[in-house]
């Protein structure tokens, strides 16, 4: 009689624990509706571009880089200076106005030639920051999706364990079961309960990180995993490679750094060469009157340290060349790796979907066999655990394919908005 009471008492305890477990899960409906990101990757990315501090800093840095590039336009503009001196011993005040117009200067020429690559560098650097923002955002969203979906699968697992506990109780009361069955279920239930707490915590943390990037809280219907994923249609690998060499912003940054490095080396050499210009000077002294002068001016710097500057600039230029080569090679390696991962990942998802169906049938078959006395409680519990595992694997694989897909498109040089749109169609089936 004491054993029977223990088995009966276990069923309501499981129900109470499950209710507490569900209460701890992140409730999307509790999030404010106003300002939600509407379950749209592209919209969330746009919100992040207006809010994310890291990206906004990159926008400001681009403005700095553009202003620095435009500053080179003043290299060949005339300049003027005014100087007034008072000589107490001569009781004289002297005023000097000088106007100069540079005509020939190698270092000034090199500075002007840097304008175009510096502007392209500024734009490409911002594009790299934009890609980084998209990747960071999708990583947090997929982490949130995985946590939420695994929590739901865990709830389904707990429900299945509850039903199996009821069956075990009935069989025990009819003399066909044992207290061992209830204890086996209790072990699995408590493990699922602990896992659910961790998943709920992970979901809340991910939602907070998404809000920190977008400036908007995750709403009740945001980023819901679909019943059916979209289909990925990849171009040929050669097409991605061709587009990558032309449009990948990281490669463009490295290429513009290489070009700027060459001009910096030319600028260093030019600093050792004479500069020719026009000069006009007007001088007015209180005791001697005024005088004017206009003519050519030549300045030839004599600075021994300039030779070392030339060597350093040449070495920096060679380093920029190698960095560009490294950027191209790394981008190519990443592209080929991601291409295979997306292709293989999509095929694996088809198999995982079939595994879920098989696992569901296995749970049903083991349950019926248990009721018929052919299978044990352990067999049913193992089938339930397998179903949870394959569901979790499917969600994890799908979110990883989404991340790989976005990274592939970005590495190949696709526009970030287009890449986010393609990824959204796959991950959310729309």
The string of DSSP letters for 30-49 reads GS-STT--TT-HHHHHHHHH
Q: Alpha-carbon dihedral of residues 74, 75, 80, 82, nearest 10 degrees?
A: 100
Query: Among candidates 132, 124, 145, which has minimal Cα distance to 213?
Result: 132
Per-residue pLDDT of the chain (430 residues; tens, 9 = 90+): 333 333 333 334 444 444 443 344 444 334 344 455 556 899 999 999 999 999 999 999 999 999 999 988 888 888 888 888 876 666 778 888 988 888 888 988 999 999 999 999 999 999 999 999 999 999 999 999 999 999 988 888 888 887 777 766 666 666 655 666 667 777 788 888 888 899 999 999 999 999 999 999 987 778 989 888 999 999 999 999 999 999 999 999 999 999 999 999 998 888 888 888 888 888 887 777 778 888 888 887 777 777 888 899 999 999 999 999 999 999 999 999 999 999 999 999 999 999 999 998 998 898 888 767 667 777 878 888 889 999 999 999 999 999 999 999 999 999 999 999 999 999 987 6
Query: Among candidates 284, 294, 296, 298, which has minimal Cα distance to 97?
Result: 284
DSSP 184-207: HHHHHHHHHHHHHHHHHHHHHHHH
Q: Whole-model pTM? A: 0.81
pLDDT at 48: 95
Tally of CB atoms within 10 A around 258: 20
- 416 neighbors 134 (Cβ within 8 angstroms): yes
- 151 neighbors 195 (Cβ within 8 angstroms): no
Tokens in use for 333? Answer: 């390696």
- 274 neighbors 111 (Cβ within 8 angstroms): no
Residue 110: how many CA atoms within 13 Å on its side-chain side? Answer: 18
pLDDT at 417: 95
């Amino acid at each position: 009689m004491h054993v029977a009471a223990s088995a009966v008492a276990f069923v309501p305890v499981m129900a109470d624990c499950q209710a507490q477990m569900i209460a701890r899960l992140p409730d999307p409906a509790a999030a404010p509706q106003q300002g939600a990101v509407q379950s749209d990757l592209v919209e969330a990315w746009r919100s992040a571009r207006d809010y994310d501090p890291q990206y906004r800093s990159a926008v400001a840095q681009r403005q700095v880089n553009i202003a620095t590039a435009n500053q080179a336009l003043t290299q060949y503009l005339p300049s003027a200076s005014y100087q007034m001196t008072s000589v107490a011993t001569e009781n004289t005040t002297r005023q000097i106005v000088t106007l100069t117009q540079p005509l020939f200067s190698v270092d000034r020429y090199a500075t002007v030639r840097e304008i175009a690559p510096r502007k392209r560098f500024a734009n490409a650097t911002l594009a790299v920051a934009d890609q980084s923002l998209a990747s960071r955002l999708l990583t947090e969203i997929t982490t949130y999706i995985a946590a939420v979906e695994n929590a739901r699968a865990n709830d389904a697992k707990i429900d299945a364990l509850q039903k199996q506990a009821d069956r075990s109780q009935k069989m025990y009361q009819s003399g066909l079961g044992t207290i061992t069955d209830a204890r086996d279920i209790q072990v699995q239930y408590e493990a699922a309960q602990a896992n659910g707490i961790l998943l709920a915590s992970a979901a809340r943390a991910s939602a907070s990180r998404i809000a920190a990037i977008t400036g908007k809280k995750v709403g009740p219907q945001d980023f819901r995993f679909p019943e059916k994923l979209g289909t990925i249609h990849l171009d040929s690998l050669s097409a991605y490679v061709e587009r990558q060499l032309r449009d990948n912003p990281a490669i463009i940054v490295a290429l513009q750094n290489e070009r700027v490095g060459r001009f910096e080396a030319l600028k260093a050499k030019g600093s050792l060469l004479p500069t020719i210009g026009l000069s006009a000077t007007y001088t007015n002294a209180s005791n001697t009157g005024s005088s004017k002068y206009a003519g050519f001016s030549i300045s030839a710097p004599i600075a021994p340290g300039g030779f070392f500057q030339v060597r350093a600039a040449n070495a920096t230029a060679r380093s920029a060349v190698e960095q560009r080569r490294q950027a191209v090679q790394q981008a190519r390696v990443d592209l080929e790796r991601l291409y295979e991962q997306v292709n293989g990942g999509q095929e694996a998802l088809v198999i995982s979907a079939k595994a879920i169906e098989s696992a569901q049938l296995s749970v049903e078959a083991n349950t019926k066999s248990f009721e018929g006395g052919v299978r044990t409680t352990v067999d049913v519990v193992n089938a339930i655990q397998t179903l949870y595992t394959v569901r979790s694997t499917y969600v994890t694989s799908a979110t990883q394919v989404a991340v790989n897909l976005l990274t592939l498109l970005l590495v190949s040089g696709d526009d970030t908005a287009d890449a986010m749109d393609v990824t959204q169609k796959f991950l959310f089936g729309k």
